[in-house]
């Protein structure tokens, strides 16, 4: 169906205010077509329409906005456009999963959960990078009467910057900035109480640093 024909059908059963909004949506879609744009998503069309006094995004998404969505969809089909924003290939592929969720509220919640998950992964990787520990596993030869054996401290071989990185990994400043806590067993816990590092992590670093 041609968009012009659908517009006339929809306006025949609409009140004056809705007729005006249908005309605005129709004009915006026509301009998208004339400029060669393929984006006929509700987000884009409603943003432009709202600037001209047309319906907002929430109005179009409501059940009462079916006529608006129908008009936008026909324009997309008529011009070979799309009703969903096409994300760039370079963006995170998890958004391909989000795009398949029809309910906008559920999509928003899942997006927040995935964003939090990514944030925690970055924080863990940062801590791992700052807390790289080199442990000397060489066996100490048995002592011989009268022979002196030198036992080197655990920090031998660590540079000043490496030692500072270890101090930073268990510092109060980092814990406060990230919202983490240390428990009595030497674990690092996230803001949700989930263990980021296992039992003995803090005490092990303190022993390495001779604290």
By the 8 A CB rule, do 54 and 46 touch?
A: yes
Mean pLDDT of the chain: 78
| pLDDT for 24 beyond 80 | yes
| pLDDT for 100 beyond 80 | no
- For the question of whether the overall pTM of this predicted structure is more than 0.75, the answer is no
Q: What is the rounded average pLDDT of the residues 98-126?
A: 72
> Given its phi and psi angles, is residue 53 left (phi above 0), alpha (psi -120 to 50 degrees) or beta?
left
* DSSP secondary structure, 82-122, as one string: BSSPPPPTTS-THHHHHTT---HHHHHHHHHHHHHHHHHHH
Question: Sheet containing 188-189: which strands, arranged edge to edge?
Answer: 181-182, 188-189, 195-197
CA dist 72 and 84 (Å) reads 11
Buried residues in 143-162 as b, exposed as e (16+ CB within 10 A): eeeeeeeeeeeeeeebeeeb
What pLDDT sits at residue 90?
A: 41
| pLDDT for 25 beyond 90 | yes
């Amino acid at each position: 169906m041609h968009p012009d024909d659908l517009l006339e059908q929809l306006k025949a059963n609409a009140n004056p205010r809705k007729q005006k909004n249908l005309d605005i949506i129709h004009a915006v879609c026509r301009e998208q077509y004339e400029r060669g744009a393929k984006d006929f998503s509700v987000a884009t069309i409603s943003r432009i329409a709202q600037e001209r006094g047309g319906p907002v995004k929430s109005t179009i998404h409501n059940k009462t906005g079916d006529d608006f969505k129908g008009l936008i969809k026909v324009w997309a089909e008529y011009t070979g456009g799309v009703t969903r924003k096409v994300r760039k290939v370079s963006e995170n592929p998890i958004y391909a999963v989000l795009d398949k969720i029809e309910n906008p509220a559920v999509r928003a919640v899942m997006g927040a959960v995935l964003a939090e998950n990514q944030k925690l992964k970055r924080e863990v990787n940062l801590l791992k990078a700052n807390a790289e520990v080199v442990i000397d596993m060489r066996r100490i030869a048995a002592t011989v009467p009268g022979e002196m054996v030198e036992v080197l401290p655990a920090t031998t071989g660590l540079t000043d910057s490496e030692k500072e990185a270890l101090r930073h990994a268990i510092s109060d400043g980092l814990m406060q900035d990230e919202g983490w806590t240390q428990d009595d067993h030497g674990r690092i816990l996230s803001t949700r109480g989930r263990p980021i590092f296992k039992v003995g992590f803090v005490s092990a670093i303190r022993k390495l640093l001779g604290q």
